[in-house]
Chains A and B, each alone.
Chain A
Amino acid sequence: MPTSSFKTISEIATGVDNLDPTIANAYEARISEAFAKKFDAFLKDAAKIPAGPGAEAALSELLKPGSPHLEVARQIIQIWYTSQFTRPDGSVDAPQTEDQFKSALLWRVIGAVAPAYSDRPYGYWKDKPANFA
């Protein structure tokens, strides 16, 4: 899959593999709507990065301090990890669905579940988590 794919770029950026394609489509639409040309420019430059083991380093290089793509990348990270992001005007774009809220990566990365959506039994919190993203 080319790195021009929003899902692929997101996987490199977030450090989490196998992101949900449906969620990816929804997030791409939200970020694209908010950042328009800046988002397109980021995708265009990211598409030049060859797929493969060096992709993460190349994307990091693209996002070094002073990069014009920093803000878009920052919000792509935020939307994947929290299901919300900050628009250019400073307003916060809220999750559109409960599935988006539940899929926020932060909780999976720390071994927790999205607040208010636990499907775990009483007392699960006594032991350390077994699974992480």
Chain B
Amino acid sequence: MNFDFDVIIVGTGVAGALCAYKLAQHGDGARILMIDPGVNDIDDKQRMSYRTTFALTANRSAGQIPTYMDLARDRFAPSVDGIDLTRYLVQSQPPTPNPENRSLYKVPYQRLIGGSTWTWRGNCPRFIPSDFELKTRYAIADDWPFKYDALEPWYCDAEDELGISGSDAEWGNDSNWVKSGIGGTRSRPFPMPNIVQSFSDRKIIAAIGTNMKQEGVTIEAISTPQARISDNTKYPDRSTCRGNSNCIPLCPTGAKYDAGVHLRKAFDKGVQIRKGSVVTRLEAAANGNVHTVVFRDWRQDISKDQRLTAKIVVLAANAIETPKIWLTSELGNKSDQVGRNLMDHLQIEVVALFPEPIYTFRGPQGLSGIEVFRDGPWRNTTGAFRMTIGNDGWGRAELPTVSIDKSFFPADKPPIGKAAKERLRDRVTRMMRISCSTEQLPSSDNRITLSEKRDELGLPRPQATFRIDDYSKRTLERAHKVASAILSQAVTNAGGDPAKAEIQPPVPKPPAEFNTAAHAMGTMKMTSDPSKGVVNSFGRAHEHPNLYVLGSSVFVTASSANPTLTIAALTLRTAAEISKRL
């Protein structure tokens, strides 16, 4: 059979881009096509255009979409934004005021060339060995079909590809992190030294000290491995970080990794792209193979299906769009796991005022974290969590407009003027924040299904059912308690009075108030046993031998770590497998 292409890749985020590049690099002239709804460019001119849009947009902090708004694309291939979570993604329950909105799945994502990598923070910790063995170690959830050691070489390659700046002293084999038994060993050093920590990090870390314990665990704050450039000797096409304090929604320099890095490399090697094209379905042949990709170009006749064929098809959308395409196509689902086990990192943040200025909003938005609660014997009943020390004031807890109003128009002092300016400076420069990302267990009831509601192209919209269980509630409560105690003790150690530090939320309030990290995971579970999952350990569909799935949708469990580096490592592993078939 003659195919139009050797490989068609659906989606141009980190997984699709990395896969395309690797297949082009090793595929010996393979004909590769990428398909994506976006129409944007990936060059510096586009980046500057986004920056202008960002600067001229009202309420920039209300959601990520305004920076990337393209009215035409957004009509036919809507993104999910933080302003209206039901505009495209259908929620299984209607939005209601807090606390009942806990069932809303808050997951902004971008349907752009480059995907959501335009607007991520860039944190790249690895998963840890126990993350792959929850069932064996804690009798909960499931094990992955392989262990950490099997992925470790691919983590190294992923760190090289994305350009990770990290501290070997803090994360290497002689570090407390590895010696504690929580962190996995490393076979290679980071490609670049860690991004230099901020003044605020150093103040807070000094205040934490070396002897602070919470719940019997010694608190150690260390730098966070990041996909941004600290030294561009090895990455001459990327800028070193300029500290724009704007990683989300946009790095204006390209110091932070985005999928454009590998898309440009892939295009240079001959990979083609169909922009403005929404995949409407995949067609399976009688033998189970999926060779035909059907799509519509929304810039043309939206009622007209177009078809292209390939020897191998790769789905690299995300954990929402991939199952949507799969279910719309009525592909094999004997395991009944397609769309199920939707997970995210439920988040809660705790803020305080440090006793002296620490000057955040300078540098990347987060450079350090506390990793020591990512594993422990309690994990059978309470989830893991990792804490990020913010470098951007109080984040969502108090926007600058509120700080300004509080400082200039307080109830008990004369308004305005130089004293008010000093109040503002005093308040904002002392803001410190710890954000906790918690592990959520997979549940078959949390899922993506097809809604009866249709989008502009007449396609079913994805519907999310997302509820948190007691395990997550306990985890959020514990994370809040620990983070509050750390901030309180740090304030005391720095000579302050916790009672005056405005630590909030002041009492444990989860689960009513939480966000997600917009890390959609699960929905296309990876298993060795075809009866229990959708794809095998290389992302190949159990029921469709030439169809592969990339991205966090194949994750078996969520860990408490940011998913992108693991997505990249899995992608490299899968791409190597696909290369053998070209």
Contact = CB atoms under 8 A, between A and B. Distances in A.
B55 A122 contact: no
Contact of A82 (B241, B364, B401, B421): B401
Nearest to B391: A125
A109 B400 CA distance: 12
* Interface bracket on B: 35 or more
B424 interface: yes
A5 interface: no
A109 B428 CA distance: 9
Interface in B53-92: 54-59
Interface in B401-447: 401, 404-405, 408-409, 411, 414-422, 424-425, 428-429
B537 interface: no
B246 interface: yes
Given A116-B51, A127-B199, A15 B362 contact: no
A93 B252 contact: no
A97 B361 CA distance: 22
Contacts of B242: 118-122
Interface in B189-246: 196-199, 202, 230, 240-246
A109 B417 contact: no
Contact of A74 (B361, B408, B419): B408
B362 A125 contact: yes
Contacts of B323: none
Interface in A37-71: 56-57, 59-61, 63-65, 70
Contacts of B414: 57, 60-61, 64
A106 B404 contact: yes
B136 interface: no
B82 to A, nearest CB: 15
Contacts of B408: 74, 77
Contacts of A127: 199
Contacts of A119: 242
B54 A116 contact: yes
Nearest to A76: B416
Contacts of A129: 359, 362
A122 B419 contact: no
B187 interface: no
Prevailing SS type, chain B contact patch: loop
A59 B359 contact: no
A2 to B, nearest CB: 18
Contacts of A125: 196, 198-199, 243, 362-364, 391
A77 B429 contact: no
Nearest to B255: A122
Contacts of A81: 400, 404, 424
Contacts of B241: 122
B152 to A, nearest CB: 30
Given A15-B418, A101-B55, A132-B425, A122 B240 contact: yes
Interface centre among A81, A107, A116, A132 (most CB of B within 10 A): A116
B284 to A, nearest CB: 45
A126 B198 contact: yes
Nearest to A56: B417
A60 B417 contact: yes
A110 interface: yes
Contacts of A94: 56-58
Contacts of B252: 116-117
Given A111-B359, A112-B245, A126 B56 contact: no
Nearest to B425: A109
A36 interface: no
A67 B460 CA distance: 54
Contacts of A59: 416-417
Nearest to B251: A116
Contacts of B409: 63, 70, 74, 77
B56 A96 contact: yes
Given A74-B408, A118-B242, A56 B55 contact: no
A111 to B, nearest CB: 6
Contact of B429 (A78, A95, A97, A110): A110
B335 interface: no
Contacts of A97: 56
Given A106-B404, A125-B364, 18 more contacts: A15-B420, A15-B421, A59-B417, A70-B409, A73-B415, A77-B408, A102-B55, A112-B361, A113-B362, A118-B243, A120-B242, A122-B196, A122-B241, A122-B242, A122-B243, A124-B362, A125-B391, A126-B197
Interface of A: 12-16, 56-57, 59-61, 63-65, 70, 73-74, 77-78, 81-82, 84, 91-98, 101-102, 106-107, 109-129, 132-133
For the complex of A and B, 9 pairs with smallest distance between CB atoms: A125-B363, A15-B421, A94-B58, A92-B58, A15-B418, A115-B246, A101-B55, A60-B414, A116-B246
22 contacts: A13-B417, A14-B421, A60-B416, A63-B416, A64-B414, A77-B405, A82-B401, A84-B58, A110-B359, A111-B429, A113-B244, A115-B244, A115-B245, A116-B54, A118-B244, A121-B242, A122-B230, A124-B363, A125-B362, A126-B199, A128-B199, A128-B357
